[in-house]
Chain A
Amino acid sequence: MGSELRKDMPVLQVTDLSKDYMIDDQRLKAVDNVSFTADRGEMISIVGHSGSGKTTLLSLIGGLTKPDRGRVLIDGTDLWALDDRKRSELRSRRVSFIYQFSSLIPTLTALENIILPTTFGDFSADVEQYARELLGIVGLEDKARSYPSHLSGGQQRRIAIARAFINNPEIVLADEPTGDLDEETEQQIIALFKRMNGEKKVTFIIVTHNREIADRTSRQMRMSNGVLVAQEQGNHL
């Protein structure tokens, strides 16, 4: 990937990013003038009350919704200066999302769900091999042919996480990825993130309510009413 050429450049630069919503003639600043940068391989957590704009911020960074003001640069490319097609292609190659809710396609098996993102982009033919590898990494190699309805909530989430890595993303945007999971699964998932972060230098931005997860990231950010109110360096556990 072209990113090798720009090792010095931050993988993500967010500048004065804002998004407003009009609700009953009231302007709601969902994301308000947010700026920060993320270096390659950083693991950042975002905490904040419900409604403070965390999901909106992740969506802006991933190019899923258009900001009213400000810029998002991924590897130096201005996301919102691209047309929709180019933006989709960039997303396909470099960004992945992990959601709090079950995001698997019910008509596809676990393995097919993991492979699914490669349908939309230019990926090498042997994605199945890699998909099986990822299935092993999330500890579900025996569930390749299972449909989501036959998997537990935790298993489904692990499949969704495996799916997030099939495109070898540079940035993973995770929105409360362990939200409704038991502690043991939560631990597995954090360990998994750590592993991908260490092995593949994937940059993580994780929205979480979980203090413990936040503590294990390299940097913690806090949002309040759309504003980034604090950033602190973590203790790299």
Chain B
Amino acid sequence: MKKIGIFGLALRNLRRKLVRTVILLVTVAVVTGTLLGATAFITGMRNALKIGTYRLGADVLVVPEKNEAQAKSALLAGEPTTFYMDRSILEKVQKIEGVKKATAQLFIKPTSFTCCYNVDAFLIAFDPATDFTITPWLEKRLKKPLADDEIVTGSSLPVIAGDTLPFFGTPFTVAGTMEPTGMKFFDQSVFMTMKAAYEMAANSKTKSMQPLELQKDSISAVLVQVQEGFTPERAAIRIEHDVDGVKAIASDEVISTVRRQLGGLLKGIVAISLIVWILALLMMGFAFYMIVNERQRELGLLRAMGARRDQIFGLIMTEAMFLSLAGGVTGIAVGSGLLYTFKDLIMRGLKLPYLLPSVFVLLELVAGALLFAILTGVLSSLLPAAAASRMEPYEAIRKGE
């Protein structure tokens, strides 16, 4: 034991009124935990959406006008769906200014007769020649290009490479399975080439009890990558203007649609966090006002012993900082624990491609929450600490009686 130090003194002070210290600590913990939960939830969701569209690599999705809603739910929730438009739309879109790449896809919702297991599989046919959305993902898993009697399955489907799966009467060999992407559009889908899909449809009339009505040259969607200097929104507006009967969904628009759907929920979360925070600030502020008040004489005595104003200020601030740091760490530990534990429940409850943010982003959020906790401590104790440091020592000692 050498000198006690301001920090040691602060710790002793916190131990003195343990119940109050614990209450304040829990308050900061609740605020920090709520904040971390809310931000992790919001960023996670936003990320999931972004990743979804980024992974798709498409800036704009062109679908039949009347199928806009289906298209969005297919994209966001992997909801199997079927709709068609004419292939000529692809050529039209390709010619529009600002469009860099365009490729067609077919979305086919298999009937329950076509498959044998209990998952909402979603058939997606792509055009290997022009595709820029799925091929990059397949390349990671396949050594050679996908043949026309092969499929690649999403990670959620209970099959392994080499399995044979029939769709509409045509058997396909599983060439590979994809890594989990966190996006149902990928994870629950079965990918095949456009050519394979047309052949499968043609053969279904003889081979399947539920034939697939698919005209040659039908497509479901055109996926567009825009040129540099063009925003997805601008390209989308042009496409809708120049091509009749289509809806062009910009990737950002997909996100904003969901955001609108979740707007109420998010606002609620933000409002609750804010209210909790303000309450906590008031509570901490009041507590520190009390702390300074009841220790008035003691602080005056410290001044009489030679403590400078900044040292008194530092003492009170140290107590607040320690409280908010300890509370912040507790809140982060408990908050992320809860978030992780109930991750699946939240995802299921909201029917969303919700993802926990990546470790890196989570670390950023944790750092942010911790900073916020410290800010709470600083804000709540700044005035009491300043008042304590400005007291005239003699008055402090006299009034503290």
Q: Decide: A64 and B5 in contact? CB cutoff 8 A.
A: no
The smallest C-beta distance from B381 to any residue of chain A, in angstroms, reads 19
* B394: chain A residues within 8 A (beta carbon): 56, 59, 64-65
* Tier of interface size on chain A: 35 or more
- A201 on the interface (CB 8 Å rule)? no
* B309: chain A residues within 8 A (beta carbon): 84-85, 88
Q: Which of B3, B300, B302, B306 contacts A89 (CB 8 A)?
A: B306
- B131 on the interface (CB 8 Å rule)? no
- Please, how many angstroms separate the alpha-carbon atoms of A93 and B305 in the complex? 9
Q: Mark A78-108, 1 if CB is under 8 A from B, else 0.
A: 0000001100110111001101010101111
- A128 on the interface (CB 8 Å rule)? yes
The smallest C-beta distance from B43 to any residue of chain A, in angstroms, reads 43
- A152 on the interface (CB 8 Å rule)? no
**Which chain A residues in 119-151 approach chain B with CB under 8 Å?**
119-121, 123, 125, 127-128
* B12: chain A residues within 8 A (beta carbon): 105, 107-108
Q: Which of A41-49, A110-118, A226-234 contacts B (4 or more CB under 8 A)?
A: A110-118
* B302: chain A residues within 8 A (beta carbon): 116, 120
* Most A-side CB within 10 Å, residue of B6, B13, B15, B298: B298
- B303 on the interface (CB 8 Å rule)? yes
With known contacts A65-B395, A89-B306, A128-B2, A120–B311 Cβ distance under 8 A? yes
With known contacts A64-B393, A65-B392, A108-B12, A91–B1 Cβ distance under 8 A? no
Q: Decide: B16 and A92 in contact? CB cutoff 8 A.
A: no
- Please, how many angstroms separate the alpha-carbon atoms of A119 and B5 in the complex? 5
- A167 on the interface (CB 8 Å rule)? yes
* B304: chain A residues within 8 A (beta carbon): 62, 64, 91, 97
The smallest C-beta distance from B313 to any residue of chain A, in angstroms, reads 12
The smallest C-beta distance from A166 to any residue of chain B, in angstroms, reads 9
- Please, how many angstroms separate the alpha-carbon atoms of A115 and B311 in the complex? 16
Main secondary structure of the interface of A (DSSP, over half): helix
- A209 on the interface (CB 8 Å rule)? no
- Please, how many angstroms separate the alpha-carbon atoms of A127 and B4 in the complex? 11
Q: Which of A85, A88, A91, A119 contacts B3 (CB 8 A)?
A: A119
Closest residue of A by beta carbon distance from B309? A84
* B5: chain A residues within 8 A (beta carbon): 119
- Please, how many angstroms separate the alpha-carbon atoms of A96 and B16 in the complex? 26
- Please, how many angstroms separate the alpha-carbon atoms of A121 and B306 in the complex? 7
* A123: chain B residues within 8 A (beta carbon): 3
Counting residue pairs across A and B whose Cβ atoms lie within 8 Å, the total is: 88
- A66 on the interface (CB 8 Å rule)? yes
Main secondary structure of the interface of B (DSSP, over half): helix
- B307 on the interface (CB 8 Å rule)? yes
* A99: chain B residues within 8 A (beta carbon): 301, 397
- Please, how many angstroms separate the alpha-carbon atoms of A93 and B401 in the complex? 27
- B22 on the interface (CB 8 Å rule)? no
- Please, how many angstroms separate the alpha-carbon atoms of A123 and B397 in the complex? 25
With known contacts A88-B303, A116-B305, A108–B393 Cβ distance under 8 A? no
Q: Decide: B1 and A111 in contact? CB cutoff 8 A.
A: yes
Closest residue of A by beta carbon distance from B396? A64
Q: Decide: B3 and A107 in contact? CB cutoff 8 A.
A: no
- Please, how many angstroms separate the alpha-carbon atoms of A165 and B394 in the complex? 21
Closest residue of B by beta carbon distance from A145? B1
Q: Mark A23-66, 1 if CB is under 8 A from B, else 0.
A: 00000000000000000000000000000000010010010111
- B308 on the interface (CB 8 Å rule)? yes
* A96: chain B residues within 8 A (beta carbon): 305
Q: List 16 A-B contacts (CB under 8 A).
A: A64-B392, A88-B306, A88-B307, A105-B9, A105-B12, A106-B16, A107-B12, A112-B1, A112-B4, A116-B4, A116-B305, A117-B306, A120-B305, A120-B311, A127-B3, A128-B2
Chain B residues engaging chain A, CB cutoff 8 angstroms: 1-6, 9, 12-13, 15-16, 298, 300-311, 392-395, 397, 401
Chain A residues engaging chain B, CB cutoff 8 angstroms: 56, 59, 62, 64-66, 84-85, 88-89, 91-93, 96-97, 99, 101, 103, 105-108, 111-112, 115-121, 123, 125, 127-128, 163, 167
- Other A-B pairs, 19, CB within 8 Å; known A64-B392, A85-B309: A64-B394, A85-B310, A88-B303, A89-B306, A92-B306, A96-B305, A97-B304, A103-B301, A105-B298, A112-B1, A116-B305, A119-B5, A119-B6, A119-B9, A119-B307, A120-B311, A121-B306, A125-B2, A163-B305
